[in-house]
Structures are given as C-alpha cells and as structure tokens.
C-alpha cells in the first residue's frame, strides 16, 4: 500500500513541473481547436493568423514588460501611458522633420526614461507600493503626451518609421503567393521574447529578479542590490512600452491621444492568464506569450463570429477568473499536505 | 582556544541608533577560529541588531570591526561575504520559489561564457550543490527541489549549507533551532560542531540553554543594548546564564 502511494506521489512530482510549465499551452491549443471548429474556413487562414499577430504585436510588448515587474511582486499601471507619451514624442519629432533613424530611436529612449522615472520613484522616494507610483505616472505621462501634442492626433510617418509595425517580409521566393507574407511585427515579437527568455532564465540578473519576487529579504541578504535590480526592471518595462509605441506608430500611421488607453489592464490580464503570480517569483515568458495569444485569439475569434465587444469584455474577464482558479487548484495538488 | 590567539573577528565599541532609539551601546565581541560563541539576551537586548551590524546589513553609528586583525568597513552583505563572514538569518533568508542549488549560490552564481554572453552554469550549480550537501551529510531528494517544498529542518540545513559554501571563516547563526522539531534540532547542532572542527568560528544567538551548552565554548550576554556578562562555558552554569538574561548577576 505504501509502495503504491509512493509511486503515485513520485508520478505527481514528475508530472507537476511539466504541467506547471506547459499547462497554459494546452489551454491555448484547445482554444485554437475550438475556434477552428467554429470558423473552419477563416480562422486558420494565412490572412487571419497574420492578422492576430499584427493585432497582438504592441500588446505583447507591454505584457512582457509588466510581466517582469509582476515577477518582482510589483505592478506597473503606467505602461499604456508610457506608450502613448513615447508615441506622441515620436510623432512630434517626425513632424519636425527629423531623419528616420532619429525618429525610430525616440520612443525607445522616451520609454526607457519613463520606466527609469518609475523605478527611481519607487526606490528613492520609497513609495509604499509600486501601485501608487505608477498610478501617479499613469496620469502624468498621458497628461504630458497631450501637452506636447496639443491633444490632437498627428499623422503621416515615413515607411522606414512604419517598418516594424507595418512592414512585410515577402515569402514569394518560397513559392508562396503574394498575399502570404510574414509581418515584420511577428518576427520582432519572436526576437524580443527569445531575448527576454534568455535574460530571465539564463542570466544572473534574471535569476535575481525571480529571487526578489520570491523573498526580497533573502535577495538583500545575499548581497543583491535589490533597488538597482528594481530600477533595471522598471526601465526595461518602459523600454518595451517604447517598442510598443514604435509598432503602434507603424500600424496606425498616427499618434493619437487615446493610444494605449487601458492597455495596462490588458497587459496585466495577459500575465495573469499566463500563470504569473501576483505575489511575485512565479511565471514564465512562454506563459505570458500564451496569455497574450489567448486574449488575441479570443478577440479575433469573437470578431469573426460577429459577437458584440461587450460580450468580449465579459468573456475575457471570465477567463481571467477561470485561469487563476485553475492555478489555485493546480497548486493544491502540487503542495504537500 | 588560548586567549593569546588573535581573534578572527572582533567588534569594538559598536553603537547603533535607530532615530532616537539606542539599540546597541558600546558593545564588544570577539570570536576565534574553531570557537563557538553563544550570544544570549532577552527580546530587544540587541542580539539581532548586533548580528546585522556584523553581517554588513546595518551600518554601525559608531565603533569598528576587525577581521583577522585588520579594520574593515562593511557597506553591504556582499562585503562581509567577500571576507568570509556568513550569516544564517532567523527568517532563513531563502527564496522559496527557487531550487536548493540556486538558493545556495544566490548572488554568487557560477557562470559560463557563451560568446560575449555570461550565462548561468546550471550543471555546475547542481554539481557543486550535491558535493557540498554530501560533505555536510545533508539529505535532500534533489538539488533541484524548490525550497518551499522542504521541511523546517531541511530549510535550516540549506541555510547553513548556503553559509558555508564559500569557504566561510566565521558563520553567524540567529536562533538556528527556534523553528525546528526536536528531532531536527540535534542534526543542526551536529552540523555546528562539525563546522567548528574545520576551524570555522561560529557565533550562535539562541534562547535555548540546551543549544548554548551543547555547542558553545564561551557565552556572552547582552542586556538593554550593552555588554552585560561573559564567561567561558566551563566557568558558568545554566542558572547563572539565565540570570544574566534577566539582568541579574
């Protein structure tokens, strides 16, 4: 009897890590299957799949940034506003006639500086929680964006500026049709996610980010400069929001005051759906990607089926609650009693 | 343990203020190689503050630290670690979400170069962890097990393993047995005794007279942030030490 128990226990111990790592991908595959069955002609068509990736392109950048912050047990509410401010700065600089390579750099630098501002505020001003600092900058950055642009949209960028968000990689040399191209933004997502996967899993700084989320006192006692790491994390989060702004500029060909409104909530939702823990120290880059994809596919699929956007809100909210509940159940199985 | 030996670690005139509160006033402490010093005192006597000063987590308001006869100024725990001064905290200071091996090497992870990238060397972490745990006779299922899955005693063992993984010369332990089941206390005390044999200086803060009288060579008492009494273990008794804690000589 005991032997049998041990066998079951060891089987659990062996399976749980895999389930923890890849369980969210199962959900994603399931969703793709369901959508395919509901919309067999359209959903998995080249055109629609590339569309999904184009739609999630800038959100995926915000989500990745917020994810790193959530791993440290923090939160960044300002990513939408950082993206809007970076986009407006890009638009103003572009309209002033700056050469394209300067225009392309401005949102990245602006985003980075906004994130740095958050990080310095949280550590130097010793805010009781990052929620407060970034709630403040959510207003500050959006206000600043409207101040520099006068609150009106600014449109018309050159092709070089629009390349990351709008560019296409022709695949006709592979014998495919002209309509079967690869969006540049898809390649960008892949590159950025791989870089950050390596950073978070294989570098010392990445390991320390997880350690801070697990137990900040342990990290401090290990000689890790916790404040420095937090400043790096918030700065990178801002930088990724800046990349988001550059993609959005390409997609919409304009800077507009409502850009990224409430997208911080989408980003947080994607992380939570993807299995990141709000208490810090838990979650994977792959999970965030799955979270972003699940939200993107859900929106896309419901649009294809002509479901009202109000229902989309209800469904996305339900998925957040369901995903976290599954997580709670999974943890029940995983911990010893 | 002759007193003519130079102490490994010596603190002179340590004073620490938190705002208007005086946590430590003119406290002296020393420990020799292979010696175990017990530090006792009531709650709020300043034991933990003193240990945090020694480990570089707090900067003293006044006073100086000498390590192997040389004055050292500790700016952070990293400085004390570099000297070979390690701390095992009461709250254990382990990250539960990380595996045993990564906890032991946290902040000092071995890396390998991949082109211009410096990546963590997980194989080496695992290898060194297994060798180190074997050396200390600590049994765990695997170095990949997450710390949050371990029992209290196993966690304490990991914390001690962590403190000795880098040729520590002095190990400071804050209440090493406080959270443990009776069965596990003995193992931890054995671990302390084997550390002493390797020439490590150990400082143990404890409320438990059993611990103090099992592993320590010398005991000192703090009372309201000051040195109150000190004696070699052979020249004192449990009752006397308990009296010191209460502030009676």
Interface residues of B toward A, Cβ cutoff 8 Å, are 55, 57, 76-78, 81, 87, 89, 91-98, 102-103, 106-109, 111, 117-120, 149
Of A211, A223, A336, nearest to B95 by CB-CB distance is A211
Q: What band does A25 get if pLDDT is binned at 50, 70 and 90?
A: confident
- State the smallest CA–CA distance between residue B32 and chain A in angstroms: 24
Query: Exposed, middle or buried, A185 (CB in 10 Å: 0-12/13-18/19+)?
Result: buried
Q: Which residues of B touch A222 (CB under 8 A)?
A: 77, 93, 106-108
What does the pLDDT read at residue A7? 65
Q: Under an 8 A CB cutoff, do B94 and A218 touch?
A: yes
Q: Which of A195, A204, A216 to mutate to probe the B interface, most B CBs <10 Å?
A: A204
Overall number of domains in chain B: 1
Domains contained in chain A, CATH given: 25-334 (1.10.3470)
ipTM comes to 0.82
Of B139 and A29, the structure prediction assigns the larger pLDDT to A29
Q: What is the mean pLDDT of chain A?
A: 91
Q: Is B155 inside a domain boundary?
A: no
Q: Tokens 């130079």: give the residue.
A: B6
**Token couple for A320:** 């957040």
Does residue B75 sit within a domain? yes
- Judge whether B37 lies within some domain: yes
Using 50, 70 and 90 to split pLDDT, how confident is the model at A18?
confident
- Tell me the CATH number at B31: 3.40.50.300
* Residue span of the structural domain in which B81 resides: 9-93+168-246
CA separation for the pair B119, B95 (Å, rounded): 20
**Is B89–A208 a contact, with Cβ atoms under 8 angstroms apart?**
no
Task: Give every CB contact of residue B179 below 8 A, 6+ residues apart in sequence.
Answer: B152, B156
**pLDDT above 70 covers what percent of chain B?**
98
Query: How confident is the model over B122-135, as pLDDT tens digits?
Result: 999 999 999 988 88
Q: Residues B174-197: pLDDT tens digits?
A: 888 887 878 788 888 888 888 888
Residues of B in contact with A207 (CB under 8 A): 98, 102, 106, 109, 120
Average pLDDT over residues A127-139: 95
Contact B40, B220 (CB under 8 A): yes
Higher pLDDT: A177 or A59? It is A59
With beta carbons less than 8 A apart as the criterion, state whether B55 and B77 touch: yes
Closest-CA residue of B relative to A277 is B97
Q: Is the pLDDT of residue A231 over 70?
A: yes
Domain assignment present for B122: no
| Mean of per-residue pLDDT scores for chain B | 88
pLDDT digits (tens, 9 = 90+) for A256-283: 999 999 999 999 999 999 989 888 999 9
In this prediction, residue A32 carries a pLDDT of 93
Asked if A336 lies within 8 A of B95 by C-beta distance, the reply is: no
Instruction: Tell whether the model's pLDDT for residue A8 goes beyond 80.
Output: no
**Mutation to test the B interface, candidates A14, A205, A222, most B Cβ within 10 Å:** A222
Q: Say what the pLDDT of residue A335 is.
A: 54
Name the residue facing A210 among B89, B93, B97 (closest C-beta).
B97
Q: Please indicate whether residue A16 or residue A226 has the higher confidence score (pLDDT).
A: A226
Query: What pLDDT does residue A3 have?
Result: 61
Nearest Cα residue in chain A from B148: A335
How far apart, in whole angstroms, are the C-alpha atoms of residue B1 and residue A223? Answer: 32
Name the one residue in this structure whose structure tokens are 């750099």.
Answer: A105
Query: Token pair for residue A248?
Result: 């959005």
More confident of the two residues B198 and A77:
A77
B119's tokens: 């990546």
Residue to substitute from A72, A215, A276, interface B, most B β-carbons within 10 A: A215
Min Cα–Cα distance to chain B from A16, Å: 12
pLDDT of residue A9: 65
Pairing of strands B218-223, B36-40: parallel
Which pLDDT value is given to residue B2?
43
**What percent of chain B has a predicted confidence (pLDDT) above 90?**
41
Across residues A106-126, what is the average pLDDT?
97
Asked if pLDDT for residue A13 goes beyond 70, the answer is no
Buried b (16+ CB within 10 A) or exposed e, A8-36: eeeeeeeebeeebeebbeebbeebbeebe
Whether the CB-CB separation of B35 and B9 falls below 8 Å is answered with no
Q: Would you say residue B86 lies in a domain? A: yes
Residues B50-70 pLDDT 10s: 988 998 889 999 999 999 988
What pLDDT, in 10s, does the model give residues B75-98?
888 888 889 999 888 776 899 999
pLDDT at residue B1, as a whole number = 43
- Over residues B27-34, mean pLDDT: 93
Does the model's pTM come out above 0.95?
Answer: no
Residue A2 in this model has a pLDDT that exceeds 60: no
Using a CB–CB cut-off of 8 Å, the residues of A that contact B are 198, 202-204, 207-208, 210-211, 213-215, 217-225, 281-282, 335-336
* Residue A237: per-residue pLDDT: 98
pLDDT bracket for residue A114 (50, 70, 90):
very high
Instruction: Kindly indicate the confidence band of residue A326, based on its pLDDT and cuts at 50, 70 and 90.
Output: confident
pLDDT at B171 over 60: yes
What average pLDDT score do residues A51-72 get?
Answer: 96
Look at residue B135 and tell me if it is in a domain.
no
**pLDDT, average across residues A27-43:** 91
B65, B11 contact by CB (below 8 A): yes
**Size of the A and B interface in Cβ pairs below 8 Å:** 77
What is the model's pLDDT at position A6?
Answer: 64
In a domain, B100, yes or no: no
pLDDT band for B3, please (50, 70, 90 cuts): very low
């Amino acid at each position: 009897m005991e032997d049998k128990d041990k066998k079951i226990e060891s089987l659990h111990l062996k399976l749980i890590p895999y389930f923890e790592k890849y369980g969210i991908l199962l959900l994603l595959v399931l969703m793709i299957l369901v959508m395919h069955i509901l919309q067999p002609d359209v959903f998995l068509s080249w055109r629609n799949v590339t569309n999904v990736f184009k739609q999630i392109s800038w959100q995926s950048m915000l989500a990745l940034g917020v994810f790193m912050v959530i791993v440290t047990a923090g939160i960044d509410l300002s990513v939408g506003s950082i993206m809007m401010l970076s986009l407006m700065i890009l638009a103003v600089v572009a309209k002033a006639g700056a050469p394209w390579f300067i225009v392309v750099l401005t949102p990245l630098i602006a985003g980075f500086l906004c994130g740095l501002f958050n990080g310095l505020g949280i550590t130097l001003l010793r805010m009781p929680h990052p929620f407060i600092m970034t709630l403040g900058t959510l207003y500050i950055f959006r206000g600043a964006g409207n101040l520099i642009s006068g609150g009106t949209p600014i449109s018309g960028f050159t092709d070089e500026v629009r390349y990351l968000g709008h560019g296409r990689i022709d695949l006709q040399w592979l014998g495919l049709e002209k309509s079967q191209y690869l969006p540049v933004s898809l390649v960008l997502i892949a590159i950025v996610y791989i870089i950050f996967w390596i950073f978070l899993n294989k570098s010392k700084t990445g390991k320390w980010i997880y350690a801070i989320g697990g137990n900040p006192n342990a990290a401090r006692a290990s000689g890790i400069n916790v404040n420095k790491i937090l400043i790096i994390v918030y700065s990178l989060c801002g930088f990724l929001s800046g990349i988001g702004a550059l993609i959005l500029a390409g997609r919409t060909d304009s800077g507009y005051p409502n850009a990224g409104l409430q997208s911080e909530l989408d980003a947080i939702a994607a992380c939570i759906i993807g299995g990141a823990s709000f208490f810090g120290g838990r979650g994977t880059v792959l999970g965030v990607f799955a979270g972003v994809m699940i939200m993107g596919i859900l929106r896309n699929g419901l649009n294809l089926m002509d479901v009202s956007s109000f229902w989309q809100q209800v469904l996305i909210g339900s998925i957040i609650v369901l995903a976290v509940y599954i997580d709670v159940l999974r943890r029940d199985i995983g911990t010893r009693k | 343990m002759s007193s003519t030996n130079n102490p490994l670690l010596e603190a002179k005139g340590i004073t620490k203020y938190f705002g208007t509160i005086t946590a430590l006033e003119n406290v002296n402490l020393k420990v020799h190689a292979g010696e175990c010093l017990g530090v006792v005192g009531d709650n709020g006597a300043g034991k933990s503050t003193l240990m945090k000063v020694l480990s570089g987590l707090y900067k003293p308001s006044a006073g100086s630290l000498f390590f192997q006869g040389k004055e050292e100024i500790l700016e952070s725990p990293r400085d004390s670690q570099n000297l070979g001064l390690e701390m095992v905290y009461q709250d254990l200071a382990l990250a539960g979400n990380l595996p045993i091996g990564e906890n032991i090497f946290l902040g000092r992870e071995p890396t390998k170069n991949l082109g211009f990238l410096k990546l963590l060397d997980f194989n080496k972490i695992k290898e060194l962890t297994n060798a180190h745990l074997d050396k200390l006779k600590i049994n765990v299922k695997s170095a990949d097990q997450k710390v949050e899955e371990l029992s209290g005693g196993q966690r304490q063992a990991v914390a001690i393993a962590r403190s000795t993984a880098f040729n520590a010369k002095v190990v400071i332990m804050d209440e090493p047995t406080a959270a443990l089941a009776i069965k596990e206390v003995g193992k931890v005390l054995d671990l302390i005794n084997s550390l002493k044999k390797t020439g490590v200086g150990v400082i143990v803060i404890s409320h438990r007279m059993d611990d103090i009288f099992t592993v320590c060579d010398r005991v000192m008492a703090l009372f309201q942030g000051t040195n109150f009494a000190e004696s070699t273990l052979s020249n004192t008794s449990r009752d006397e030490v308990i009296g010191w804690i209460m502030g009676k000589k």
